[in-house]
Amino acid sequence: METVRLDKCLTMNFGCSRREAGIFIRKGRVTVNGIPVRDAALRVSPEDDVRCDDSGLQVVTRACPRYFMLNKPAGCVSATDDSEYPTVMSCLRDEAGGLFPVGRLDLDTEGLIFITDDGAWAHRVTAPSRKCPKVYEAVLEHPADPVLKEIFARGVLLRGEKTPTLPAELEILAPEKVRLTIHEGRYHQVKRMFASQGNHVISLRRIAIGGIFLPEDLGSGEYRPLTPQEIALF
Ligand code: URA
């Protein structure tokens, strides 16, 4: 019989972080087969009656595909292994293998990235034909020229490319701080778009993918499972 850790069972039911699940458990709010349990590492199976505040939880084991969001820190690569740098997978050490990042963020880019073992789902997130919106916040070297809104809305031709970028939406949040929504995922796209206009990205953070926003309380390097509603968006 497949089993799963008790704290993971809570994260899968509530979409909370493992840390939050541990707090529920330590407060004695979780019972297994009628007995309050304070050990987050206890393994439970679908045959166990797991309850939190007396409402029943589903025990889903690893036979199911897994879906997470990670707040990627700068300094790790979006890959499953690398000879030089730590990878995003090092943030999910508690999870078993088979997972991979969905798409890429640059080494120095932070923010939202999905991690899964469901290749078909990952493909739906990244397929160019779906034009999934991705929202980035960037700090620029120079104040953003408001004319960039029109330029990016029309599309820009990046060096070495044959087709202009798809229409993108630019918001200027502060003189040197912008929010840019793009609908494709070309190599270093955001940095190259600003570079093509004589400005430079100093720091970059992805805050949303396809309507899923990075929660403010998910710290750098933290992750949580996607909820069934979030998974169903793709
Ligand atoms: N655009 C970039 O330039 N870098 C990223 O990591 C993502 C989008």
- Asked if residue 184 has its Cβ within 6 Å of ligand 1, the reply is no
What is the tens place of the pLDDT at every residue in 63-103? Answer: 678 999 999 999 999 999 899 999 999 999 877 678 999 99
CATH assignment of 133-209, among 3.40.640.10, 3.30.70.1560, 2.40.50.100, 2.40.170.20? 3.30.70.1560
Quote the pLDDT of residue 97.
74
- Is any ligand 1 atom within 6 A of the Cβ of residue 188? yes
67-128+224-231 and 133-209 in the same fold: yes
CATH assignment of 4-56?
3.10.290.10
Neighbours of 135 (CB within 10 A): 21
Over residues 206-219, the mean pLDDT reads 97
Ligand 1 atom closest to 206 (CA): 7
Q: What is the pLDDT of residues 36-45, one digit of tens each?
A: 999 999 999 9
What span, in angstroms and rounded, lies between the C-alpha atoms of 171 and 44? 48
The CATH code of the domain at 67-128+224-231 is: 3.30.70.580
- Distance from residue 14's CA to the centre of ligand 1 (Å): 31
Residue 135 has pLDDT above 90, yes or no: yes
158 Cβ below 6 A of ligand 1:
no
Would you say the CB of residue 191 lies under 6 angstroms from ligand 1? yes
| Contact predicate 226/216, CB 8 Å | no
Q: Where are the domains of the chain?
A: 4-56, 67-128+224-231, 133-209
- Residues paired with 209 in a beta bridge: 134, 212
Examine the residue annotation and report whether 145 is marked as an active-site residue of this protein.
Answer: no
Through-space distance between the first and last CA atoms of the chain, rounded to whole angstroms: 30
- pLDDT tens column, 159-190: 999 999 999 999 999 999 999 999 999 999 99
Where would I find the H helices in the chain? 6-14, 18-26, 119-126, 148-154, 189-195, 228-231
**Most informative mutation of 170, 191, 209 for ligand 1 (most atoms within 8 A of CB):** 191
